[in-house]
Amino acid sequence: MRNLDFELVRTLDDEGNLLNGVTIDLSEVELLELYEKMLMTRLFDERAFRLQRQGRIGTYPPYKGQEAAQVGSVFNLEKGDWLFPYGRDLAACFTFGKDMKSALLYAMGHKDGSKVSEDTNIFPLAIMIPPQIPQAVGAAWASKLRGEDRVALATIGDGGTSKGDFHEGMNMAAVYKAPAIFLCQNNQWAISVPIEKQMATDTVVQKAIAYGMEGVRVDGNDVLAVYQVTKEAIKRARNGEGPTFIEALTYRVGPHTTSDDPTRYRKETEAEKWKQRDPIELYKKFLIKQGLWSEEQDAKMTENIKEMINTAVKEAEATTKTRLIDIFDHVYQLPTDDLMKQKQSVESEFLISQ
């Protein structure tokens, strides 16, 4: 029987010091870029939460506390690779090239909310759980069949591992050695259901054994550790060694969405405990101790990012709103007969109301 114990990969202690024997293969520029992306995504998340409370965007799923898992993993992707995010993964999308304006439009229900540049392969955010897994496998397998040097990174929450799509996708990826990486952000809660009531296994990552694929467990609040294990997984995928399943141990410090009240099902002392290893504060400590950063630089960067967010908000709110009739042109490339009938019905109602 295989050993079910998976070492938790870490690079930093609680004070931001490199652990013994750990080496970093990133340049100073790359180290600072990691931090900038984490800080930008955090500030956007906090602003988006306030915008929802003001009634300026729709329901929003905050990801505060999960920035290291998302930014650290996607930081390894190259142009031409694929990202298949789940609904809480805007930090991952921003890191791979999505702009803030389109993210806000998405939250406003705009038809262009999922648009990205033509050379950026980001699948639309998966709100249903978890259709992006088999879709990512399909993209990865197609890339392999075409002889392309591309990988597909799919992200998922711990709750998503309880769904059939997850198991079917994992099995197919392993059988066909698809160049795919599955990143599970184990944030401890599937809406109001704690991890211990979701599965009988001690860890999420041990599920990899059943499918015959590589499994890694990493501290999801340690951006350097996430970066390193994902880099190795991507290298294996590109070399034809098959998929990897990564469990990033982290925590959702906020609500599941802005329509959720986490105080009804969990103790706030639990969230406070995880805040002590906040991914951004932990990494900032590291950078300061390395002589690469200062509080003064941090304040200036924060101000610049907030200005960028303000601009994105103004541009999104100035964009012409989507009409119901516009939606029908954004479902299928070639509309079905049923879709055309529905569109004609809406057109008739629109003309009558004029």
Between the alpha carbon of residue 77 and those of residues 97, 126, 180, 181, 239, the distances in Å are 11, 19, 12, 11, 15
- Asked if pLDDT for residue 161 goes beyond 70, the answer is yes
Question: Catalytic amino acids?
Answer: 252, 256, 265
Residue 343 domain boundaries: 324-354
Q: Are residues 80 and 205 in the same domain?
A: yes
Instruction: Kindly report, residue by residue over 182-208, the tens digit of the pLDDT.
Output: 999 999 999 999 999 999 999 999 999
In a domain, 3, yes or no: no
Q: Are residues 318 and 331 in the same domain?
A: no
For residue 148, the domain's CATH number is 3.40.50.970
**Rounded-to-integer distance, Cα 178 and Cα 84, Å:** 15
Query: Within this chain, do residues 105 and 123 fall inside the same structural domain, yes or no?
Result: yes
pTM, rounded to two decimals: 0.95
Compute the mean pLDDT over every residue in the chain, rounded to the nearest whole number: 95
For residue 231, being part of any structural domain is answered with yes
Assess whether 350 and 226 both reside in one domain.
no
CA torsion angle 35 41 47 49 (round to 10): -130
23: left (phi over 0), alpha (psi -120 to 50) or beta: beta
φ and ψ of 183, to 5 deg: -110, 110
Residues 341 and 204 in one domain: no
* Same domain? 221 vs 350: no
Kindly report whether the peptide bond that precedes residue 85 is cis, defined as omega within 30 degrees of 0: no
In this structure, the answer to whether residues 296 and 329 fall within a common structural domain is no
Residue 114's CB is within 10 A of a number of other CB atoms, namely 17
Q: Does 231 share its domain with 345?
A: no
In a domain, 2, yes or no: no
- Please indicate, yes or no, whether residues 331 and 184 belong to a single structural domain of this protein: no
**Domain check: are 348 and 226 in the same one?**
no
Domain count of the chain? Answer: 2
Is residue 1 one of the residues assigned to a domain? Answer: no
Residue 215 lies in a domain: yes
Q: Mean pLDDT throughout 31-47?
A: 98
If asked whether residues 42 and 13 sit together in one domain, one would say yes
pLDDT in tens, 284-298: 999 999 999 999 999
Token couple for 308: 């960028």
Give the pLDDT of residue 2: 55
164 pLDDT more than 80: yes
Token pair for 100: 């803030």
Assess whether 202 and 347 both reside in one domain: no
